Structure 1
Amino acid sequence: MAVMSTPQILMIEDDARLAQMVSEYLAQSGFGVRHAADGQAGLAQLQEHVPDLVILDLMLPDIDGLEVCRRIRALPGALAKVSVLMLTAKGDPMDRIIGLEIGADDYLPKPFEPRELLARIRAVLRRRGDTASEASAATVVRFGTLEIDRNARTVTVGGALADLTSYQFDLLVAMAERAGRVLTRDQIMEAVRGRELEAFDRSIDVHMGRIRAAIEVDAKNPKRILTVRGVGYVFAKQQD
């Protein structure tokens, strides 16, 4: 991906009026915005010009946003790591949960305030930038067979690559850095400096479930990321 001074965003949204309004607002805030009116066009644009972030509407005329997100995460290399912010129907938590489960980094219910959208975009991009700036820190952290490579932004278990989104990688790093400490959901969100503007604790639960599925031998009986009932989670220093 070419180095760009202006953060690039791809908006996949069939509402042309909304897309134009958002594009103009984000352009005034220093972003370059491309627009695609349906899922197929969005996937095609994504592969021609890799953006920093995709704003993805859930309801599209050809294929729905959930399927688009699945296809993005199935793409090769850097394309699969692109941050995805999903636009969902207001008041439908299942859409948000499913979106997070299949790889979205964040969500925003419609209708939304442009300033909130901007805040969420900046939070997602800041998380990625913060991790990239840690090159001078210890790049590889190991816990038994679990290996976290900060620079490569990869996680392996017994040498096998774990499938995590960018946000889930940041959550795992934040937990590993605080191994042995019990953290509330709020503390976990604060640790990645991406606190969601709505109090939606299930989002962290969904991400933790996905992380467990990727790094645990048995996700239903986790040994590394443990639930502390009524409080939150703890990353166990010793797995055995």
Structure 2
Amino acid sequence: MATALRPPALTDAEWQARQQLAACYRIFAHLGWDELIYNHISLRVPGEDHAFLINPFGLHYSEVTASNLVKIDIDGNKLGESPYPVNRAGFVQHSVFHRHVPDAHCIIHTHTTAGMAIASTAEGLQPTDFYSGLLAGQVAYHDFEGVTVREEEGARLIENLGDKRFMILRNHGLLVMAPTLPAAFVNYYVIERACQIQMATRSAGTPLRVPDAVIAVHQRDVFLATPPEQRGVAEFGAYVRIIDRIDPSWRD
């Protein structure tokens, strides 16, 4: 597949980040993890600590391309020309993590059916299968305070996140963050699948909890399989090839 030419005004690093993020939006659309024109995947621009890329508000994820992503600062102000606005209700939440969590280079927030369903249960995500077992003890929770447009909620988000990088926003949805986009992608895949399977399990019968001793072995062995710097790289690359065959316009 031919690679789109980088616009002269952009560095190679920013263009590569734009293509990677645009691909991720297309993958989410392909997998049905989009929500009309809402929700966000944001990515730090390499070498620019306070510059981020985010989806142009008003476009469906299937319309996102490398060139129409919006570059913003930590406060959500646009850096450079773009005809598209940024959804404040979304970036207020992302900005607090980008600002206060040093390794939060990529942040994903969604409103999928499975994610919102589990977020709306009192017990939240329970370790009853392969995927939720990986997340036992790894997920933070934040109580719903309404649409995220008030900056003062940020302190509570950070406090509730603690040292976790997976968060269930109660009555709201899922949020993950990671040092790289491929790692954030595979982390999101794990928690989304865990929510889907938990919904199916409850419909099938009484959930069977995985013993704590087995969870410890499970987490140890799975996370030893891939070096941290390679987390998500192969999985993300596989889906990039799929969307390239469907519609490579995300590269432009």
User: Shared topology, TM-score over 0.5?
Assistant: no
- The TM-score range, normalised by the shorter chain, is under 0.3
- Greater relative CO, 1 or 2 (CA 8 Å, sep 6+): 2
Q: Which has the higher strand share?
A: 1
TM-score by structure 2 length? 0.26
TM-score by structure 1 length? 0.27
Q: Which has the higher helix share?
A: 2
